[in-house]
């Protein structure tokens, strides 16, 4: 997601498959098998050619190039001579294959090499003369060329349009306090205490009341669905009146004693979290096995020592406060930055190149698929996903992310924000620790695929967002 110049390379031409200047560099042009395989791949690329998404007309420019016939002929001659030098064709000595045979045998490859030799440099210069920075891949819409005739090409490309950010410093949003309130701190201690609670049997002879935990066995039948498997559970714990307990269970169990058998009918809402029960009515047979009570530990020095290397409860409180303060600061800062960026995007609207939006959708889907794979989804299951629907669902978020990046890049320029080599090195050290990869290996890999530049760009954007956040009043 980089709103920067994209040059036309050999892979951007209509032919699609890159070839080097020398025919010997990638394959033996006299090998029939190599020739057939190249032709097969070339035809396959055109049969399944993906013309990409519809470009945003507000961010699209058209470029027309016409190269004189004498330059085209000169380029043809150079490529043909190169093929003559290396071609191995039965019946001809090396380097002695007639020009007519070369042109007939390798017509497609020669045409591709000529285009690659003539177009990229001229295209890039023409784009520079227009004063815009392309994003995404240029798309060739017209291309005509023959030996002895002019080369004509028409291409369209997207770019980030100019827009004003005058007055961005005056755009403000509320900056909430990051101080920890007494209520928040007490709630944290309550949750911490609850996390160490124990469930103890109730020895006295009494009925279940709110706050108790019933140990039950249940057997449920889905009404209207004779083929549905029964819903069963053994020795399950249910909190009477608990926020996570279905009310029908609490109503049926409240006042019951161990040994009693009961019935409960549960009508699950359509949006119930468990899909197989959503919108269904289930009749349960319940048996109360025992009554249990949750026991909370005392908040004292012993409790603190159980949780870690704390000398006293006061030490634990200090640690909890520090943890809460850091967590709240991150949360408030992240939410406030999001609101500030939304306000800036509303104040400074601009058109977004569709190619950048599609790239961001790709990135979001890739992260999602990696997460699904980590959760156990196999390749066959992934193939069954409705990717059209998934892409559509990601569009609004992807567009907002692209807009935010473009806007932050513009503000970074205005603020002269930069990322030092030392800051980048520190980020790489953290990344290397997370990936368990040597720093030098990680650096080499990221440098090779452009990842290092993208990391620096993202760090610059985050640094700019922090500058804007710190200026907010409050």
Please write the tens of the pLDDT for every residue from 316-330. 999 999 999 999 999
Q: Average pLDDT in the 70-98 region?
A: 86
Rounded CA-CA distance 3/59 in Å is: 12
What is the reported pLDDT for 53? 67
Rounded Cα distance, 406 and 400, in Å: 10
CA 55, CA 159: separation in Å to the nearest integer? 10
Q: N- to C-terminal Cα distance for the chain?
A: 33
Residue of 102 and 354 predicted with greater confidence: 354
Stretch 275-304: mean pLDDT: 92
Query: Using 50, 70 and 90 to split pLDDT, how confident is the model at 401?
Result: very high
pLDDT class of 104 with cuts at 50, 70, 90: confident
User: pLDDT-derived band of residue 21, with 50, 70 and 90 as boundaries?
Assistant: very low
Residue with tokens 């007939």: 104
Q: Is the dihedral of CA 267, 268, 270, 276 positive or negative?
A: negative
CB atoms within 10 A of CB 405: 19
Alpha-carbon dihedral 96, 98, 103, 106, rounded to 10 degrees? -40
> Is 150:71 a contact under the CB 8 Å cutoff?
no
Smallest CA-to-CA distance from 240 within 248, 250, 231 is with: 250
Q: What pLDDT is recorded for position 136?
A: 82
User: What backbone phi and psi angles, to 5 degrees, belong to 403?
Assistant: -60, -45
**Residue 461: CB partners within 8 Å, gap ≥ 6?**
404, 405, 408, 409, 412
pLDDT of residue 38: 35
How many residues are listed for the chain in this entry?
Answer: 474
Residue 35: its pLDDT value, please?
36
Residue 435 banded pLDDT, cuts 50, 70, 90? confident
pLDDT tens track for 49-80: 445 568 999 999 999 999 999 999 999 889 98
State mean pLDDT over 120-131. Answer: 89
8 against 226, higher pLDDT: 226
pLDDT score for 52: 59
Q: Which two tokens stand for residue 347?
A: 């104040």
**In contact, 26 and 127? CB cutoff 8 Å:** no
Distance CA 464, CA 419 (A): 10
How many angstroms separate the CA atoms of 231 and 284, rounded? 8
Average of per-residue pLDDT values in the chain: 86
Which range is least confidently modeled, 58-67, 91-100, 136-145, 253-262? 91-100
Q: Report yes or no: 412 and 460 within 8 Å, Cβ to Cβ.
A: yes
Q: Is the pLDDT of residue 41 over 60?
A: no
Burial code of 241-275, b = ≥16 C-beta within 10 A, e = fewer?
Answer: bbeeebebbbebbeebebeeeeebebebeeeeeee
Is residue 46 over pLDDT 50?
A: no
Instruction: Among 5-14, 53-62, 211-220, name the most confident range.
Output: 211-220
pLDDT of residue 4: 39
Higher pLDDT, 42 or 178: 178
Query: pLDDT tier at 105 (50, 70, 90 boundaries)?
Result: confident
Give 236-284 pLDDT, tens digit per residue.
Answer: 999 999 988 989 999 999 999 999 999 999 998 888 878 788 889 999 9
Residue 202: pLDDT above 70?
yes
Structure tokens at 24: 């010997």
DSSP 437-458: --HHHHHHHHHHHTHHHHHHHH
Let me know: does 400 contact 345? Beta carbons within 8 Å. yes
Contact 310, 363 (CB under 8 A): no
Across-strand partners of 65?
153
Q: What is the mean predicted confidence (pLDDT) over 76-104?
A: 84
Q: How confident is the model at residue 20 (pLDDT cuts 50, 70, 90)?
A: very low
Backbone conformation region of residue 287, classed left if phi is above 0, alpha if psi is from -120 to 50, else beta: beta
193: nearest Cα among 291, 331, 302, 329: 302
What is the C-alpha to C-alpha distance for residues 156 and 65, in angstroms, rounded to an integer? Answer: 12
Would you put residue 110 in left (φ > 0), alpha (ψ -120 to 50) or beta? Answer: alpha
Which has the closest alpha carbon to 242: 272, 210, 264? 210
Token reading at 366? 């890739």
Whole-structure pTM value: 0.70
- Pairwise CA distance, residues 326 & 178, whole Å: 9
Token pair 């005739």 is found at 149
């Amino acid at each position: 997601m980089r709103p920067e110049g994209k040059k036309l390379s050999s892979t951007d031409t209509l032919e699609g498959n890159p070839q080097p200047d020398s025919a010997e560099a990638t394959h033996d042009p006299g090998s029939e098998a190599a020739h057939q395989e190249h032709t097969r791949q070339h035809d396959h690329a055109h049969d399944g050619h993906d013309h990409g998404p519809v470009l945003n007309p507000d961010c699209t420019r058209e470029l027309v190039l016409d190269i004189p016939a004498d330059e085209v002929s000169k380029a043809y001659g150079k490529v043909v001579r190169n093929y003559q030098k290396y071609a191995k064709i039965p019946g001809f000595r090396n380097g002695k294959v007639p020009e007519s045979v070369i042109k007939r045998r390798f017509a497609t490859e020669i045409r591709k090499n000529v285009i690659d030799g003539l177009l990229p440099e001229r295209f890039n210069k023409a784009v520079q003369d227009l004063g815009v920075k392309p994003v995404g891949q240029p798309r060739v819409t017209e291309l005509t060329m023959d030996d002895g005739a002019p080369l004509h090409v028409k291409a369209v490309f997207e770019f980030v349009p100019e827009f004003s950010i005058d007055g961005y410093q005056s755009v403000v949003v509320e900056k909430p306090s990051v101080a920890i309130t007494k209520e928040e701190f007490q709630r944290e201690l309550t949750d911490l205490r609850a996390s160490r609670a124990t469930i103890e049997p109730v020895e006295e002879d009494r009925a279940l009341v709110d706050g108790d935990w019933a140990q039950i066995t249940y057997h449920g039948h889905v009404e209207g669905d004779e083929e549905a498997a029964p819903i069963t559970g053994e020795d399950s714990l249910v909190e009477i009146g608990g926020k996570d307990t279905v009310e029908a269970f609490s109503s049926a169990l409240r006042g019951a004693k161990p040994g009693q058998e009961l019935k409960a009918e549960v009508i699950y809402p359509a949006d119930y979290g468990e899909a197989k029960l959503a919108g269904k009515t289930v009749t349960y047979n319940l048996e109360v096995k025992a009554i249990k009570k949750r026991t909370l530990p005392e908040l004292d020095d012993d409790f603190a020592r159980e949780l870690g290397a704390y000398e006293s409860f006061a030490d634990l409180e200090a640690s909890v406060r520090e943890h809460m303060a850091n967590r709240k600061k991150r949360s408030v800062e992240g939410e406030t930055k999001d609101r500030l960026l939304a306000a800036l995007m509303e104040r400074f609207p601009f058109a977004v190149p569709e190619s950048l939006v599609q790239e961001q959708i790709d990135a979001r889907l890739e992260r999602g698929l990696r997460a699904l794979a980590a959760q156990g989804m196999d390749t066959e299951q992934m193939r069954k996903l409705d990717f059209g629907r998934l892409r559509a669902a990601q569009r609004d978020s992807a567009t907002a992310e692209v807009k935010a990046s473009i806007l932050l890049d513009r503000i970074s320029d205005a603020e002269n924000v930069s990322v030092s080599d030392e800051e980048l090195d520190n980020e790489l050290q953290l990344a290397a620790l997370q990936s368990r990869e040597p720093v030098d290996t990680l650096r080499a890999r990221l440098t090779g695929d452009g990842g290092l530049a993208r990391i620096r760009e993202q760090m610059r954007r985050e640094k700019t967002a922090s500058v804007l956040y710190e200026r907010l009043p409050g």
